[in-house]
Chains A and B, each alone.
Chain A
Amino acid sequence: KAGVTQTPRYLIKTRGQQVTLSCSPISGHRSVSWYQQTPGQGLQFLFEYFSETQRNKGNFPGRFSGRQFSNSRSEMNVSTLELGDSALYLCASSSAFTGGGETQYFGPGTRLLVL
């Protein structure tokens, strides 16, 4: 099976702009989770989508949003970018039929730099 893919892999934006990142899960996986990875804060959970519904949400401001399509592909959007949003954004997919405990498989990430 093909792994989790993320596009684009690298992105440079300026403060105040918005950005959309895309994630294609492993075929058959219906859960997609997003994480932010920074040197200072480590890996932090953003949100999780299952069957086009947000099922879980982390402690991030409302500028961070996401959605999931009927084919399980997911996008996350960050509006009004701040310098502190510079990070590696990871997407992970799992079968997650029971809503917990299933292994999550990670994509390569999108590295966002905000200038």
Chain B
Amino acid sequence: AQRVTQPEKLLSVFKGAPVELKCNYSYSGSPELFWYVQYSRQRLQLLLRHISRESIKGFTADLNKGETSFHLKKPFAQEEDSAMYYCALTSGSRLTFGEGTQLTVNP
């Protein structure tokens, strides 16, 4: 069975500090992995997906198949990055989400 784990429910950093949101997964095949973000009072939206290898809003994520991880990183956090972040993997058309990490960036 597929599973996504985000070990930190809450993460707080100061503006300008590096940030890393952890994500581990279990999946028997080759996963398609995503990070979704939900800003306050906004809908869930795609932040990035691993196959595109893009950097969105300064965030990057590297798929480590050996450690089955897909951690999200940003070198310098901004206050506008405060949001709920969800790691997810897809099996066919079905997204399996982690529990989410609430990131707060303090001024």
A residues engaging B (CB < 8 A)?
Answer: 3, 31, 33, 35, 42-45, 48, 50, 55-56, 58, 90, 92, 94, 96, 99-109
Contacts and interface: CB of A to CB of B under 8 A. Distances in A.
Given A31-B93, A33-B93, A103 B100 contact: no
Q: Of A106, A107, A109, which is in contact with the most chain B CB atoms at under 10 Å from its CB?
A: A106
B31 to A, nearest CB: 10
Contacts of A96: 93
A38 B51 CA distance: 29
B49 interface: yes
A105 B46 contact: yes
Size class of the B contact interface (CB-based, 8 Å): 20 to 34
B18 to A, nearest CB: 26
Interface in B63-107: 86, 88, 90-100
Interface of B: 32, 34, 36, 43-46, 49, 51, 86, 88, 90-100
B95 A45 contact: yes
B80 to A, nearest CB: 20
B93 A42 contact: no
Contacts of B90: 100-101
> Chain A's interface: helix, strand, loop or mixed, by majority?
strand
Given A101-B32, A106-B44, A42 B100 contact: yes
B93 A56 contact: yes
A109 B97 contact: no
Contacts of B91: 100
Nearest to A94: B93
A102 B94 CA distance: 10
27 contacts: A3-B43, A31-B93, A33-B93, A33-B95, A35-B95, A42-B99, A43-B86, A43-B88, A43-B95, A43-B100, A44-B97, A48-B94, A55-B93, A56-B93, A58-B94, A90-B44, A96-B93, A99-B92, A100-B92, A103-B46, A103-B49, A104-B46, A104-B95, A106-B43, A107-B43, A108-B43, A109-B43
A31 to B, nearest CB: 6
